[in-house]
């Protein structure tokens, strides 16, 4: 019987408002044999009945409504610590997040568009830490 790893047992949550980017991330995760579930908004993610099953959270820093940082703070306030990768096209936002940190378990802050190999390295690091 094949040994199961955490990556096979739990999924990666993707919170991204841009449908093209959301699908590209899901395709990249799928190519690495990682299961994922995508959400358009932070609010959609928070309404999910299975937040605790996610082993990693990939979130856009700038979302309509609640942004990525606020989502991380909300999760932390609920006692939910999911290893998180924040993505953003805005260099100033990335710099601020990298220096200020978040209460959430921040693994990486990546620029959009990102290198697929760098992205998957960050996801694997997050999964090892979950």
Position 97 in a domain: yes
Q: Which residue is associated with the tokens 């924040």? A: 86
Q: How many CA atoms lie within 13 A of 16 on its CB side?
A: 24
The pLDDT value recorded for residue 6 is 40
Average pLDDT over residues 4-33: 84
User: In a 3-state reduction of DSSP, which class is residue 124?
Assistant: helix
* Domain membership of residue 124 as a residue range: 6-128
- Note the pLDDT tens digit of each residue in 19-72: 999 999 999 999 999 999 999 999 999 999 888 889 999 999 999 999 888 898
The pLDDT value recorded for residue 119 is 95
In order of 12, 48, 110, 113, the CA distances from 37 in angstroms are 6, 10, 20, 20
* Terminal-residue alpha carbon distance, the chain: 24
The pLDDT value recorded for residue 100 is 65
The pLDDT value recorded for residue 1 is 37
Position 115 in a domain: yes
CATH number at residue 64: 3.40.50.2300
- Note the pLDDT tens digit of each residue in 75-130: 988 888 899 999 988 888 777 776 665 555 788 889 888 999 999 999 999 998 75
Alpha-carbon distance of 9 to 104, in angstroms, equals 22
Identify the bridge partners of residue 110 per DSSP, sorted by sequence position: 87
Question: Parallel, antiparallel, or unpaired: how do β-strands 54-60 and 36-39 relate?
Answer: unpaired
Work out the pLDDT band at 5, boundaries 50, 70, 90: very low
- Note the pLDDT tens digit of each residue in 59-78: 999 999 998 888 988 898 88
Position 1 in a domain: no
Total number of domains in the chain:
1
């Amino acid at each position: 019987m094949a040994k199961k790893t955490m990556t096979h047992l739990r999924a990666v949550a993707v919170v991204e408002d841009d449908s093209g980017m959301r699908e590209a991330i899901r395709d990249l995760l799928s190519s690495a044999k990682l299961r994922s579930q995508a959400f358009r908004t932070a609010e959609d993610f928070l309404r999910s009945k299975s937040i605790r099953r996610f082993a990693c959270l990939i979130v856009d820093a700038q979302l309509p409504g609640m942004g990525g940082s606020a989502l991380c703070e909300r999760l932390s306030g609920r006692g939910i610590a999911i290893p998180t990768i924040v993505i953003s096209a805005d260099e100033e936002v990335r710099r601020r997040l990298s220096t200020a940190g978040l209460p959430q378990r921040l693994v990486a802050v990546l620029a959009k568009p990102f290198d697929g190999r760098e992205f998957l390295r960050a996801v694997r690091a997050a999964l090892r830490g979950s």
